[in-house]
């Protein structure tokens, strides 16, 4: 009956079908040699084989774990820094310069230096992920905290809130929706950073696997893993959304209300 409603409900399968269809079309037209652009069934078979020998699952768990832990760390740190910046304008300006310099540097550029400094291991991942992932939560946090209205703050003070209570009970709840916008960006960045770090300096994880398979010219496997990375993004975004709904559900409802 109502196409719009069905299209909305089936948007994920529709998008997936369109993507796979376009892929198959390019394949069928033979624009790229099959060796570098295998068909969907070939990719699926190769991926299935990797699933069965268990390598993919463990690599996925490692990579997704790193991206999630990295995101949590970067988000907490970013918000904490934003709170400190909100308290101290001087510090805020200082961090602003640092972020202006660090933000344009891609994660790949951090890896070699990090390898020398921190070796190959958890510290390397923590360093690279946090350095590139922290900025959206931090910058959104600073803007959101600065944007909390003076009427709201005066209301809190009128009812006897201390500065500390004002921060927890008024400023942070008011700023949280905007902070989550930053965390959603950060989720994607964290995932990219993990894959890049694994490719350049890793001994495990999906990034490492992609690198290995690419060198062995196992194209179907490489593409299968790339799809998996994309799925990771969807999954991580889904988790962030769940948390956002739990913590700022009021804001989502407020934005969606008809009027």
Partner 1 sequence: MTALLSTSAVGKHYGSGAARMPIIDGLELSIAKGEFVSLVGPSGCGKTTLLMCLAGLLAPSEGQVRFNGQLVTAPPIGLSVVFQDYSRSLLPWKSNLDNVLFGMRRVQLSGPEKRARAVEILAAVGLSGFEAHYPWQVSGGMQQRVAIARGIAAQSQLLLLDEPLAAVDAQTRADMQDLLLDLAKRFNQTCVLVTHDVEEAVYMANRVLVLGPRPTKVVREVIVDLPMPRDQLATREDPAFLHARHEVMALIRGMRQGKALA
Contact 182, 137 (CB under 8 A): yes
Report the alpha-carbon angle 191-201-218, nearest 5.
Answer: 80
Phi/psi of residue 134, each to 5°?
Answer: -70, -25
Q: Can you count the helices (H) and strands (E) in the chain?
A: 13, 0
Coil/strand/helix, residue 141: helix
Q: Which is nearer to partner 1, 77 or 247 (CB)?
A: 247
Q: Which is nearer to partner 1, 157 or 212 (CB)?
A: 157
CB of 211 to partner 1, least distance (A): 46
Q: Which is nearer to partner 1, 28 or 158 (CB)?
A: 158
- Interaxial angle between packed helices 122-133 and 107-118, expressed in degrees from 0 to 180 and rounded to the nearest 10: 150
CB of 163 to partner 1, least distance (A): 12
Q: Which is nearer to partner 1, 170 or 195 (CB)?
A: 170
Q: Which is nearer to partner 1, 172 or 194 (CB)?
A: 172
Contact 232, 225 (CB under 8 A): no
Closest to 196 measured CA to CA, from 48, 63, 73: 63
Q: Which is nearer to partner 1, 45 or 154 (CB)?
A: 154
CA–CA dist 31, 28 (Å, integer): 8
CB of 254 to partner 1, least distance (A): 5
**3-state helix vs strand vs coil in the chain, percent to 5:** 85, 0, 15
CB of 46 to partner 1, least distance (A): 49
CB of 237 to partner 1, least distance (A): 23
Q: Which is nearer to partner 1, 103 or 155 (CB)?
A: 155
CA–CA dist 72, 77 (Å, integer): 8
Contact 58, 118 (CB under 8 A): no
CB of 138 to partner 1, least distance (A): 22
CB of 212 to partner 1, least distance (A): 48
Residues that bind partner 1 (CB under 8 A): 149, 151-152, 154-155, 157-161, 170, 173-174, 248, 250-251, 253-254, 257
Counting Cα atoms < 13 Å in the Cβ hemisphere of 215 gives: 7
């Amino acid at each position: 009956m109502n196409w719009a409603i069905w299209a909305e409900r089936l948007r994920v399968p529709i998008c997936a079908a369109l993507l796979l269809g376009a892929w198959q079309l390019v394949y069928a037209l033979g624009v790229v040699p099959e060796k570098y652009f295998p068909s969907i069934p070939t990719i699926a078979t190769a991926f299935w084989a990797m699933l069965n020998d268990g390598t993919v699952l463990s690599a996925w768990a490692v990579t997704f774990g790193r991206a999630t832990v990295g995101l949590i760390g970067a988000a907490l740190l970013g918000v904490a820094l934003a709170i400190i910046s909100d308290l101290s304008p001087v510090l805020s300006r200082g961090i602003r310069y640092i972020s202006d310099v660090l933000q344009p540097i891609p994660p790949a550029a951090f890896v070699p230096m990090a390898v020398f400094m921190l070796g190959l291991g958890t510290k390397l991942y923590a360093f690279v992920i946090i350095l590139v992932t922290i900025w959206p939560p931090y910058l959104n946090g600073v803007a959101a905290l600065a944007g909390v209205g003076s009427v709201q703050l005066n209301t809190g003070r009128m009812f006897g809130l201390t500065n500390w209570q004002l921060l927890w009970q008024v400023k942070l709840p008011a700023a949280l929706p905007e902070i989550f916008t930053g965390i959603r960006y950060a989720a994607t960045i964290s995932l990219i950073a993990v894959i890049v770090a694994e490719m350049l300096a890793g001994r495990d994880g999906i990034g490492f696997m992609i690198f290995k398979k690419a060198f062995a010219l196992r194209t179907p496997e490489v593409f299968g893993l790339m799809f998996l990375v994309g799925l990771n993004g969807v999954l991580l975004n889904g988790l962030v959304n769940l948390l956002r709904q739990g913590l700022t559900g009021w804001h989502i409802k407020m934005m969606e209300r008809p009027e």
